[in-house]
Amino acid sequence: MSLLIRNAEIVNVGTRAHGDIYVENETITRIGKDLQAPPDAEIIDAKGQPAFPGFIDPHVHIYLPFMATFAKDTHETGSIAALIGGTTTYIEMVCPNRNDDALAGYQLWKSKAEGNSACDYAFHMSVTKFVAETESQLRQIVADGTASFKIFLAYKNFFGVDDGEMYQTLELAKRLGVITTAHCENAELVARLQQKLLSEGKIGPEWHEPSRPESVEAEGTGRFATFLENTGATGYVVHLSCEPALNAALAAKKRGVKISVESVLPHFLVDKTYAERPGVEGMKHVMSPPLRAKHNQDVLWQALAAGSVDTVGTDHCPFDLEQKLLGRDSFVSIPNGIPGIEDRVNLLYTHGVKRGRIDLDRFVDSASTRAAKLFGLFPRKGTIAVGSDADLVIYDTNYRAKVSAKTQHVNNDYSGFEGMDIEGRPSVVTVRGKVQVRDGKFVGERGRGKMLKREPCHF
Ligand SMILES: [Zn+2]
């Protein structure tokens, strides 16, 4: 099986070249001008449009039992939505809670994906407690190819770890050469503030943000950084949402702490007034850390342009309106999450590149290449190069539409980005050389996705 993509603007971080890409089996084997292909090769004319390396979403939830319910997507629906939006690899959070056995949880999460995903995938392993068997279990999981951990400083008594457990996790991560991702909010403060607000009769979704203010996230970020500093481990802050937390991360970077920063799509595009709308309209926009005051959006865009926000993920986590209404009597019971897997690339391109907030290099870097490098997938993923997997996105820069729940492929009945402009979308998406999407339609092979085994790379 071979595939020739002709006449593309081949975009990698730092380089741009007009030419052709030739793929044999699953791999890019030639890049150049006027390439020839055997008569049986599939030929696609890119018509001078950009060819990007397949995009990587470093932070999604597909299978997730959480807040008395389950996130709505399966790997079948989630991976097809991802591919239609140009994401060819996602990294899912394995999230057993404190009462679950970690290794059994890991096997369960793996079994949900296996044979069901149309795109490639990998996992971050959540460490939600640190007990006698934890080290040997984590060693097995890393040896199985899952070379990154996740810890929650928030969600006390469910996913959350205390400082002692954080120390033990980071100390082990350092020895294993594994990067640790972290949800940084102070669990104790969140719990206290929630109780205080509820006792004052403040129960609507508009109180979600005040229950987890910016300072609470900044404290978590700073504390995580301090623990990295004192263990020598490498860390990655997930879904950083606001200026004080960014300052905490950047101060740590400046003093040599090995810390990277991810922000997620909602925090660039929607502000806390969305969650202040009454009833279910507000509940649609409840996630943690919460949507913030609008001025933080400019801060995040500027940090993204400068590269001090390293990656853009989604924290994709769909709950439908009926599930959101579990929180009708109390904001603490609203399932947290906003879906975004399908819209990330198009919205980042439109509201980042097209609006002049970031250049094309940062777009490709933050949505693909840098995640590949941080999480041990580069150069197999995250670049268009000879020898790399043929995960390619030919992008139609002339496409115009608005985001709508009516046309989305995510298994949910609303979109957090309803009505927003999209100026561009993938016209062709390949996964390891096979065309999976054409012009917004899945045309490929279900179950094609493979688990990507990753080696530790943070010694
Ligand atoms: Zn998450």
- Statement: residue 340 has pLDDT above 90: yes
Cα(399) to ligand 1 centroid in Å equals 30
Question: Bridge partners of 442?
Answer: 437
- pLDDT at position 212 is 98
67-71, 179-183, 401-405: segment of lowest average pLDDT: 67-71
What's the 313 CA to ligand 1 centre distance in angstroms? Answer: 10
Residues counted in the chain: 459
If pLDDT is split at 50, 70 and 90, which confidence band does 74 have? very high
Residue 276: the pLDDT is 97
Tens of pLDDT, residue by residue over 29-48, are: 999 999 999 999 999 999 99
CA of 109 to the centre of ligand 1 (A): 15
Q: According to the model, what pLDDT value does residue 395 have?
A: 98
Cβ pair 165, 135 in contact under 8 A: no
Query: In sequence order, which residues have a C-beta less than 8 Å from that of residue 328 and are 6 or more positions away?
Result: 279, 280, 283
If you average pLDDT over residues 132-159, what whole number do you get?
A: 96
**ω into residue 290 within 30 of 0, thus cis?**
no
What confidence score (pLDDT) does residue 298 get?
A: 98
Q: What distance in angstroms lies between residue 317's CA and the mean position of ligand 1's atoms? A: 7
Phi, psi of 123 (to 5 degrees): -130, 150
**Confidence at residue 66, expressed as pLDDT on a 0 to 100 scale:** 84
Looking at every residue in the chain, the average pLDDT score rounds to: 97
Distance 336 CA to ligand 1 centre (A): 9
Q: How far is the CA of 158 from the centre of ligand 1 (A)?
A: 14
Q: 68 falls in which pLDDT band (50, 70, 90)? A: confident
Q: How far is the CA of 61 from the centre of ligand 1 (A)?
A: 6
How much distance in Å is there from the Cα of 93 to the middle of ligand 1? 7
| Ligand 1 center to 62 CA (angstroms) | 10
SS3 label, residue 24 = strand
In angstroms, the CA 26 to CA 431 distance is: 8
Q: What is the mean pLDDT of residues 378-406?
A: 98
pLDDT band at 94 (very low <50, low <70, confident <90, very high): very high
pLDDT at 1 over 80: no
Q: Using the mean position of ligand 1's atoms as its centre, give its distance from the Cα of residue 116 in Å.
A: 21
- The confidence score (pLDDT) of residue 67 equals 81
- d(CA 437, ligand 1 centre) in Å: 26
Q: What per-residue confidence (pLDDT) applies to 40?
A: 95
With tokens 């400082």, the residue in question is 163
d(CA 232, CA 160): 22
Nearest-5° Cα angle at 433, 432 to 435: 110
Distance 60 CA to ligand 1 centre (A): 6
Could you tell me the distance, in angstroms and rounded to a whole number, from the CA of residue 445 to the centre of ligand 1?
Answer: 28
What's the CA gap between 203 and 306, in Å, rounded?
A: 39
Q: Answer yes or no: pTM beyond 0.85.
A: yes
Q: How far is the CA of 433 from the centre of ligand 1 (A)?
A: 30
Range 185-210 average pLDDT:
97
Percentage above 90 pLDDT, the chain: 97
Q: What is the dihedral of CA 407, 411, 412, 414, to 10 degrees?
A: -20
- C-beta of residue 335 within 8 angstroms of C-beta of residue 69: yes
At position 400, the amino acid (one-letter code) is R
